Structures are given as C-alpha cells and as structure tokens.
C-alpha cells in the first residue's frame, strides 16, 4: 500500500504524529495506520522512561493542546526560586533547576 504507513508504538513509547509541520495527534502503544496523502508525515518517538519530555512541540502542546498534555503527562512547573526533586519508585533520580521544562516528572508520560 503506497499511501498508508503502519506505525508501531511500543509499550515503553509514545509518539507524536506531525502532518505538514502541524501536530495532528499523540499515538499510544499499538499499531496505527497513517494515511500519507496529502502532505508530509513525520512520527516523533519518545521513551516513557525519560525523566523529561524533550521535543520542539513542548510549548505548543502545553499552550494549545491542554487536553493532550493532561491525558499523557505529569506536569511539573517551578518558579524562579523553586527546585523540583524527582523521586520515582523510592529512589532519587534527578532534580530539576528552576523553570527547567514544563513537561517533566518521575514518569512524564502517564
């Protein structure tokens, strides 16, 4: 099939589907069939075990797609005089400097 692409998202992954340089949707674990026409399609994969979600789409998602963020992320925001300590599963993993990224936490993906 020339106009359809199968995207496989693993159990420890989430993916962002970008069409024509615009966010279309987040893909959760499973098989997804993506229609390739019209426009360019990109799939940005992310490991759920990463302490911080790093993507060029962070600001857009937080500001414009709050429903996606609330469904998929644990959001930790700090002020200029605050520090967040990430303490997943009873072992210290990292601390985040003030205002060090909005989408971060023990397991940033829910």
User: Do 47 and 12 form a contact (C-beta atoms < 8 A)?
Assistant: yes
Work out how many domains the chain is built from and give that number.
Answer: 2
Give the pLDDT score at 74: 82
Domain match, 33 and 69 both: no
Give the pLDDT score at 106: 44
Domain match, 28 and 39 both: yes
Asked whether residue 105 carries a pLDDT value surpassing 50, the answer given is: no
Q: Which two tokens stand for residue 13?
A: 């992954």
Query: What is the residue-averaged pLDDT of the chain?
Result: 82
Q: Is 77 helix (H, G, I), strand (E, B) or coil?
A: coil
Is the model more confident about 95 or about 46?
46
Domain match, 21 and 56 both: no
Q: Which of 93, 88, 83 is nearest to 101 (CA)?
A: 83
Give the pLDDT score at 75: 83
Domain that holds residue 13: 1-47
Asked whether residue 12 carries a pLDDT value surpassing 90, the answer given is: yes
Domain match, 4 and 34 both: yes
Q: Is 98 helix (H, G, I), strand (E, B) or coil?
A: coil
Give the pLDDT score at 107: 54
Domain match, 40 and 59 both: no
Q: What is the pTM of this model?
A: 0.73
Which residues does 92 contact at the CB level (< 8 Å), separation at least 6? Answer: 85, 86
Average pLDDT over residues 36-49: 88
Domain match, 89 and 105 both: yes
Alpha-carbon distances, residue 29 vs 10, 32, 45 (angstroms):
5, 9, 11
Asked whether residue 73 carries a pLDDT value surpassing 90, the answer given is: no
- Rounded Cα distance between 100 and 96, Å, is 6
């Amino acid at each position: 099939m020339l106009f359809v692409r199968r995207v496989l998202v693993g159990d420890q992954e989430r993916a962002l589907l970008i069409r024509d340089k615009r966010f279309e949707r987040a893909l959760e674990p499973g098989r997804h069939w993506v229609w390739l026409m019209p426009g360019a399609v990109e799939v940005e994969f992310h490991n759920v075990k990463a302490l911080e979600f790093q993507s060029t789409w962070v600001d857009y998602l937080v500001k414009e797609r709050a429903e996606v963020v609330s469904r998929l992320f644990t959001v930790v925001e700090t002020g200029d005089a605050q520090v967040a300590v990430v303490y997943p599963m009873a072992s210290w993993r990292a601390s985040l400097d003030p205002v060090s990224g909005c989408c971060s936490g023990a397991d940033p993906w829910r």
